A and B are shown apart, each in its own frame.
Chain A
Amino acid sequence: GAGVSQSPSNKVTEKGKDVELRCDPISGHTALYWYRQSLGQGLEFLIYFQGNSAPDKSGLPSDRFSAERTGGSVSTLTIQRTQQEDSAVYLCASSLRGEGSYEQYFGPGTRLTVT
């Protein structure tokens, strides 16, 4: 079956612009996670969705970052007024349930470059 997909694969934007990153999880997976991978910080958790609600937003680095999930499926991560330090690879993952015992499957990521 289809895996986790993300779009766009690459995004170059000017500092100060807003960007939207999209994630399509595996069909039937109720849990969805966003992570960020940058050179200096490694892989960091951003936000977790169970269904359409986000019980854990603790990893969002600032109020310029927001995410939503509609219909228990597609999720969008929005970064407003982008800064150069936002440049990173943004990875999305899904799992059958939002419980610690379930395996997570990752998408290919969106590489964001802020110039």
Chain B
Amino acid sequence: KQEVTQIPAALSVPEGENLVLNCSFTDSAIYNLQWFRQDPGKGLTSLLLIQSSQREQTSGRLNASLDKSSGRSTLYIAASQPGDSATYLCALSSNTGKLIFGQGTTLQVKP
């Protein structure tokens, strides 16, 4: 059974700092990995999707990497801003697209 773990559960950093969020999983037979952002009381916004054959994806200040052999993904946020404050979720996809989520990392970026 696939299990997804995100560390740390919460993170507080000063504005401008570069940071890394971690996601680990137990079964390397995945189809893709998605990173989502969730603001309080809101739905999920897709940030990056990495296909199983890819190693990384970049969008603006965000970079996500995938290492299936070690069961790990990281989300790198460069030059963090207060507007980046949110909960970040990683999710692994099965062959039907069913997503299995981690518990999330709640990020606070202080001005």
Q: B30 to chain A: which residues have CB within 8 Å?
A: 100
Could you tell me the distance between the alpha carbons of A36 and B94 in the complex, rounded to whole angstroms? 18
**A35, A102, A104, A106 interface centre (most CB from chain B within 10 Å):** A104
> In residues 14-67 of chain B, which contact A (Cβ within 8 Å)?
30-32, 34, 36, 42-46, 49, 51-52
A91 close to B43 (CB less than 8 A): yes
A49-72: CB near B (< 8 Å → 1, else 0) gives 010000110010000000000000
B80-111: CB near A (< 8 Å → 1, else 0) gives 00000000010101111111111110000000
Q: B49 to chain A: which residues have CB within 8 Å?
A: 103
Q: B99 to chain A: which residues have CB within 8 Å?
A: 33, 35, 43, 45, 93, 104
B43 close to A103 (CB less than 8 A): no
A99 close to B97 (CB less than 8 A): yes
A64-98: CB near B (< 8 Å → 1, else 0) gives 00000000000000000000000000010101011
**Known A-B contacts A100-B32, A106-B43; A43 and B101 likewise in contact (beta carbons under 8 Å):** yes
Check: A21 CB closer than 8 A to any chain B CB: no
A100 close to B31 (CB less than 8 A): yes
Of B44, B97, B101, the residue contacting A42 (CB under 8 A) is B101
Q: B96 to chain A: which residues have CB within 8 Å?
A: 31, 48, 50, 55-56, 98-100
* Chain A to chain B contacts (Cβ below 8 Å), 28 pairs: A31-B96, A31-B97, A33-B97, A43-B101, A44-B101, A45-B98, A48-B98, A50-B96, A59-B98, A91-B43, A95-B97, A98-B96, A99-B31, A99-B95, A100-B30, A100-B32, A100-B94, A100-B95, A101-B32, A101-B93, A103-B32, A103-B46, A104-B34, A104-B46, A106-B36, A106-B43, A106-B44, A107-B43
B residues sitting closer than 8 Å to A (CB atoms) are: 30-32, 34, 36, 42-46, 49, 51-52, 89, 91, 93-104
